[in-house]
Structure 1
Amino acid sequence: MAKKVCVLVAGSWGTALAMVLADNGHEVRLWARGEEQVREINEQRENSRFLPGIKLPEGLHATSSMEEAVKGAEAVIIVSPSKAMREVARALKPFWREDMLCVHATKGMELETLKRMSTIIAEELDCDEQKIGVICGPSHAEEVARRRPTTIVVASANEEEAQHAQNLLMNAYFRVYTNRDVLGAELAGAFKNIIALGAGMSDGLEYGDNAKAALLTRGLAEITRVGAEMGANPLTFSGLAGVGDLVVTATSRHSRNWRAGYMLGQGKPLPEVLDSMGMVVEGIRTTEAAHTISQKYKVQMPIAEQLYHVLFEGLDPRTAVEALMGRGPKTEMEMMSQETWEQWHT
């Protein structure tokens, strides 16, 4: 049965999700800020800035009016850059209804407060945070828009709402699982961008496959460790939201985080890297947030720490790698504190 669904905003991932919904026969309203982008989507059936060469389905209609986008919608999917999430959620508030399904698909944190996106949305909508779900997992927008087989997860504290989102999105090329661990899904989605930056940097330095494999493996241990200390289920980091998203983000040229890291590894300064990207690189903001989080929770994040020094203190990437390789001997199983270990094994 067709539903009306609105998607905020019309970036690459938001547009790709809007295409999935339209392919499923739903009436889709895609909110965009600029009238020129709205006209291009509605008249030329293309979003050339974010998904060039992709023809958009007829069931997708763009609008710059938040009221038009949201009115009568059964569900809203927010796909905003993390730094704009409060602004978008605030604009949604006058048209928000308690009976609407609300999920977001943003992989980042608010730098100033270290809050997750579901917390920010709940604060701005003045609703219970447990009503806010998250879409995550290995999902390049470019491949979803070309209808390549993709598998994601919808995390929600409310199983019925997770299943609702699952039913809206799932089709022959877009498989959807559910998960109850919203905290773990959001942390995994944000922190994996840090490791993807490091993987790109390793490739830019031409360190080879051995180095990248080690970086991904130890990076997964690192983000699992801090996630568990913050209260997430460690198993979430072994699933689609964790290792799945980490692999796709850290190994593909579609990944903005990988591309940014690659350019840094080639010796390009951060301002030049950001200017050349043209889109948000969430891993850079998240690296700064992780630097504070590791101190707050007293959890070692050596990869994130060295990337912080490279990004914000001008450390040479080769020196950062030498610092990681020169750390004292460890056992591989040093994953989390004894208290957290007991919490998840009793």
Structure 2
Amino acid sequence: MNIKTNKVGIIGSGSWATALAKILLENVNEINWFFRKKATIETFKQNKHNPRYLHEVEFDTSKINFCEDINCIVSNSDILIIAVPSAFLPSVLADVTDLSGKYILSGVKGIVTEENLLVAEYLQKYFNVDHGRIGVLAGPCHAEEVAREKLSYLTVACTTEEKAITFTQLLECDYIYTTPSDDIWGTEYAAVLKNVVAVAAGIAHGQRFGDNFHAVLISRAIQEIKRFVDQVHPIDRDIKAPAYLGDLMVTAYSQFSRNRTFGSMIGKGYSVKTAQLELNMVAEGYYATKSIHEINQHYKVDMPICEAVYNILYNKVPPHKVFAELTKKLC
């Protein structure tokens, strides 16, 4: 796989996909980019930026091959980068006829909820993509900061570190540092779990808890994440690394975190539906909460923070009641 010369396609048109497109064009001459609507493509070409996300990022559109036919993107790309909300992944890929022979880098920090599958598992089950051809993006890297070329760090996880190093060549640039990893399962699950914790942090903020409580919440949360990923995929990993702790911290604290924002609305008394409508973006943590709850019925890991969020979002227990119990469990 020659990263520098092979054709790269992006599936996704949101803020993270747009940020990844910006990064890619630092290293490759052109990209293929899938948009569902032809009108959106025409607006993009006219204005030189994504009409819906990260308007400040201006593109040289002569380097972008736009197409509203996803199979056109797939057939003309050797490497595919997927950056869509996990809840929409099945519908986005519904018309794809063949992914065989493709290398795939997943920027989906979520879980396919219908069957509670990680993205790598979903691609293998439904498209017969070998795990050795899949990479997973992890780490603290908000699209809004990439747009401003703020120094950011990404981890690329594959089944082997050698393959991960190859993928990093797509992403390394002046404002992006990369780290390879062979923990494809742990990084995917950690990315799912940190969104649930960010919702919890938002609820705590909405309930007017202070910085002291937030610090305890996050320190207990990383322990909770470690218990889960060690149970699901027991290998030697440093849970304090950026792919785990770093991603958790930025998602739980940042002003750009949609999961924290969503949780804050819930903590202030918004209904789930109202919060989703006002946010007008997908909060992966909402879907991840139910999936992790269901998966953990098998593993039975002690996860008081995730269970607290589940009781609020799905059992509709008032946040103040749930957090009154949670605060005791965090001692």
The interval holding the TM-score normalised by the smaller chain is over 0.9
Q: What's the RMSD between the two structures over aligned residues?
A: 1.8
The separation in 1 between residues aligned to 2:329 and 2:105, in whole angstroms, is 41
Contact 2:160/2:181, CA 8 A, preserved across alignment? no
Contact 2:216/2:330, CA 8 A, preserved across alignment? no
CA 1:163–1:92: 2 relative to 1, 3 Å = farther
The separation in 2 between residues aligned to 1:67 and 1:109, in whole angstroms, is 23
Report the TM-score, using the length of structure 1 for normalisation: 0.89
Equivalent residue for 1:255? 257
Deviation at 1:171, TM superposition (A): 0.7
Matches within 5 A, 1:1-346: 1-58=4-61, 59-94=63-98, 96-98=99-101, 100-233=102-235, 235-327=237-329
| Secondary structure at 2:96 match in 1 | helix
Q: Percent identity?
A: 30
Equivalent residue for 1:335? none
The separation in 1 between residues aligned to 2:330 and 2:234, in whole angstroms, is 28
Deviation at 1:230, TM superposition (A): 0.6
Deviation at 1:228, TM superposition (A): 0.7
CA 1:237–1:87: 2 relative to 1, 3 Å = farther
CA 1:13–1:277: 2 relative to 1, 3 Å = same
CA 1:317–1:234: 2 relative to 1, 3 Å = farther
CA 1:169–1:149: 2 relative to 1, 3 Å = same
Deviation at 1:129, TM superposition (A): 2.5
Amino acid corresponding to residue 306 of structure 1 in structure 2: A
Structure 1 residues without counterparts, runs of 5 or longer: 330-346
The separation in 1 between residues aligned to 2:162 and 2:15, in whole angstroms, is 28
Contact 1:85/1:121, CA 8 A, preserved across alignment? no
CA 1:225–1:60: 2 relative to 1, 3 Å = same
Amino acid corresponding to residue 170 of structure 1 in structure 2: E
Report the TM-score, using the length of structure 2 for normalisation: 0.93
CA 1:236–1:44: 2 relative to 1, 3 Å = farther
The separation in 2 between residues aligned to 1:312 and 1:263, in whole angstroms, is 15
| Secondary structure at 1:264 match in 2 | helix
The separation in 2 between residues aligned to 1:271 and 1:328, in whole angstroms, is 29
The separation in 1 between residues aligned to 2:234 and 2:277, in whole angstroms, is 35
Deviation at 1:167, TM superposition (A): 0.7
Contact 2:217/2:330, CA 8 A, preserved across alignment? no
The separation in 2 between residues aligned to 1:209 and 1:216, in whole angstroms, is 11
The separation in 2 between residues aligned to 1:138 and 1:68, in whole angstroms, is 32
Equivalent residue for 1:339? none
Structure 2 residues without counterparts, runs of 5 or longer: none
| Secondary structure at 1:23 match in 2 | coil
The separation in 1 between residues aligned to 2:167 and 2:198, in whole angstroms, is 28
Deviation at 1:133, TM superposition (A): 1.2
Equivalent residue for 1:342? none
Contact 1:42/1:61, CA 8 A, preserved across alignment? no
The separation in 2 between residues aligned to 1:315 and 1:156, in whole angstroms, is 39
Q: Which moved more, 1:247-256 or 1:314-323?
A: 314-323
Contact 1:22/1:60, CA 8 A, preserved across alignment? no
Contact 1:18/1:60, CA 8 A, preserved across alignment? no
The separation in 1 between residues aligned to 2:78 and 2:112, in whole angstroms, is 27
| Secondary structure at 1:221 match in 2 | helix
| Secondary structure at 2:10 match in 1 | strand
Deviations, residues 219-248 of structure 1 (Å, cap 9, x unaligned) = 111111011111143625321221111011
Contact 1:130/1:157, CA 8 A, preserved across alignment? yes
Deviation at 1:151, TM superposition (A): 0.5
The separation in 2 between residues aligned to 1:142 and 1:36, in whole angstroms, is 24
Amino acid corresponding to residue 39 of structure 1 in structure 2: E
Amino acid corresponding to residue 137 of structure 1 in structure 2: G
Deviations, residues 227-281 of structure 1 (Å, cap 9, x unaligned) = 1111143625321221111011010121110100111111111110011111111
The separation in 2 between residues aligned to 1:140 and 1:57, in whole angstroms, is 22
CA 1:232–1:114: 2 relative to 1, 3 Å = farther
Equivalent residue for 1:334? none
The separation in 1 between residues aligned to 2:16 and 2:28, in whole angstroms, is 19
The separation in 2 between residues aligned to 1:328 and 1:74, in whole angstroms, is 47
